[in-house]
Chains A and B, each alone.
Chain A
């Protein structure tokens, strides 16, 4: 009934040149994500979670293995094709927002669409819709420097989904937010996932954020070491996550 959005087979990423010590940032990682899932990737600093995200988001290339996103093998694509692929199939939310400070909130959100030369009327309508959805409609003509952190992250989220990507990727999306704004963003993501069936993959080291996911993959030294699936309410899932984290000795990292 559901098709895989991400299908990763035996992916390894090696750092270090010929005469240096080789370091595996990713070591033989395989997993599959189907459409409509909300997956979290957790791990300590340096465990390889950001590398995994970069490989999936086509920003970095795997040394070995195949990476299929939405049915396309991205390891065989050229730079230009990868760009187009990112523009059409992927949406990003970064920890530091990555908004363009020289464009208004509206223009920032419209960017992925105008890059694909969508007709102006359609852009306006879609942007309006997504801004209303995320509760930032009144910020349209402001510049990123004049709005709050939470509002910036909502703007980033709006930009990430306005072109209806196959996959939404978050790199510590709540990392720079206070708990109130973080909760609000996570609720928004949950809503997007449940109501619009958007597939979300999020990297985080924060157990509270992770507890919004349906499934969590734990990564350590470049390997996937454990996987847990949420069955009950969020609160008990949160406890379960904390348990796994302490088991792998990285509960501290939530405070870094």
Chain B
């Protein structure tokens, strides 16, 4: 009988249960997505550039498990809050506490099993879609990646099985501790005062220290290595949680106390809303901050590997292309490219010695790297000094390192000794051997002419093959392609994980906000009755959610910016074009904010009159 009642009770709150189930399903699906990678050692080994990638996955798994743990506990707490009034009513009418407890247990397990089944299926589907999408966008072939991976299925089921069991027992304990009246009036609650001064100060200090240690480990990752990685993994989230819990309520209290501001328009209501629920929000917001850090960090990491291909290419040579003795087809192609700088020199080869024309070098002074190391690859200068008179090998040569750098780069592949002599125009013309030429070109953006470079390389290879040479094309573009080929697996993992973490973040925030919506409907209806315009209510919602989104967003980004140091021992420049992932993230986050606001307004605001 009681079970029938319980089922009909669940049915009446179907909307809330759908929210709950959706939240659980998302977290399970994302956890599964992550596990398909973490357990697929073959794929990781084959595709990763990083040796300690296993460790990275271990750390990732740990963080995700931690976040999921809190998420599930919270979600099940929500389940209890949905039901407590009804359970209180049954108990008032004489149902025994043990019976209610068993009911709660069964319900938690049923919800758990349902979400586990749906979540795993969704996880497999998501893995297929994301895997397909990413390999298309990144133009890479994925070998050894399986969307349906049994060890991952097994581990996901095991992990969530244990979690649901724990939270079922936890709910039962909480139920047992409460009195009937507490259950009945569970919906009415007063604002809890902010944490006492001493506890708050202590938490703030502990939080600052933890975060400081975490950041320190991230910054000095090169020296600390594995130890640093592990310490940062534990300390950074710990610091984030402590600081959010200690500082957010205090911050809102301060904003609220500012009376002059508060008594204007909807502000008192907006801040009342926020501070009313901030205690329940702090942990969730800290979780969101961590997920943002992980998600944006993974995407930034992936992009950094991709950018590193460009860095590697750019540091290999200043000019985007150099073609020796271009044929008709090559010339046509070169002419179709908009170069910011196009140079053309003539040379002759005689007894393994190259001859350049002094006048040509003087009238077309080339760019070279300011220093010849990879760190300063993008600082270019123009050669100012006179071209070296004489040759590079005998005693009459006065060494000029700048010209030397440039002229050696220009040497054709089949001139292994790279010895050259700069002669004047007249001397050059007197040389008997055949005159050859070389075209150099630099564009404003190397990457926007990828197709042209590829075609140029193909034509060059044809030329080499026709000459029955053993050489393969060695160009800036081939370096770029090769590097990208090696890094593509890592880039894919970065994007895949980034999407997984950001989706988890979205589902966390969405869940948290939607679970509060039911109570808000009454509040907004009341405000409407006493004459608040719809636009003002909408404005208040925007304002409130903006603050909710802002804090974790900023914290997460700060983590990412510091955390990119993590890659400094594998990448030349982890911070190169860091604004790209930051911009991508900001865009996704903003769109997500707008969607949430819209959804929330639709739920809590009455329809147009």
Contacts and interface: CB of A to CB of B under 8 A. Distances in A.
Interface string A68-83: 0000000000011011
A239 to B, nearest CB: 35
Given A111-B269, A117-B265, A92 B529 contact: yes
Q: Quick one: which of A59, A88, A113, A114 has the most chain B CB within 10 A?
A: A114
A120 B266 CA distance: 13
B458 interface: no
Contacts of B608: 79
A142 to B, nearest CB: 8
Interface stretch (A32-40, A99-107, A193-201): A99-107
Contacts of B190: 101, 143, 145-146
Contact of B528 (A83, A99, A100): A83
Interface in A137-162: 143, 145-146, 159
A99 B272 CA distance: 13
B411 to A, nearest CB: 76
A72 to B, nearest CB: 14
B534 A107 contact: no
A200 B263 CA distance: 28
Contact of B268 (A88, A111, A124): A111
A87 interface: yes
B263 A115 contact: no
B264 A100 contact: no
B190 to A, nearest CB: 4
Given A103-B269, A107-B272, A146-B190, A86 B529 contact: yes
Interface string B512-542: 0000000000010011111111111000000
A120 B259 contact: yes
A101 B272 CA distance: 9
A100 B269 contact: yes
Contacts, number: 96
A55 interface: no
A225 to B, nearest CB: 28
A145 B5 CA distance: 30
A114 B265 contact: yes
Interface in A99-137: 99-103, 107, 110-115, 117-118, 120, 123-124
A87 B536 CA distance: 12
Given A114-B263, A115-B531, A145-B190, A82 B268 contact: no
B551 interface: no
A79 B272 contact: no
Contacts of B329: none
Given A145-B188, A145-B190, A84 B533 contact: yes
B530 A103 contact: no
Contacts of A87: 530-532
Given A92-B530, A115-B536, A100 B272 contact: yes
Chain A contact patch, size range: 35 or more
A24 interface: no
Contacts of A115: 265-266, 531-532, 536
A90 interface: yes
A89 to B, nearest CB: 9
Given A85-B531, A88-B531, A115-B532, A103 B526 contact: no
Interface in A41-78: 57, 59, 61
A6 to B, nearest CB: 17
A98 interface: yes
A123 B526 CA distance: 21
Contact of B276 (A99, A102, A111, A113): A102
Interface string B191-220: 100000000000000000000000000000
A115 B540 CA distance: 12
Contacts of B191: 102, 143
Contacts of A85: 531
Contacts of B264: 114, 117, 120
A112 to B, nearest CB: 6
A120 B609 contact: no
Interface of A: 57, 59, 61, 79-80, 82-88, 90, 92, 94, 98-103, 107, 110-115, 117-118, 120, 123-124, 143, 145-146, 159
- Closest 7 A-B residue pairs measured CB to CB? A86-B531, A87-B531, A102-B276, A79-B609, A83-B533, A120-B263, A103-B272
Interface of B: 188-191, 259-260, 262-269, 272-273, 275-277, 523, 526-536, 608-609
11 contacts: A57-B529, A79-B609, A86-B531, A88-B531, A102-B191, A113-B263, A118-B263, A123-B263, A124-B263, A143-B190, A145-B189
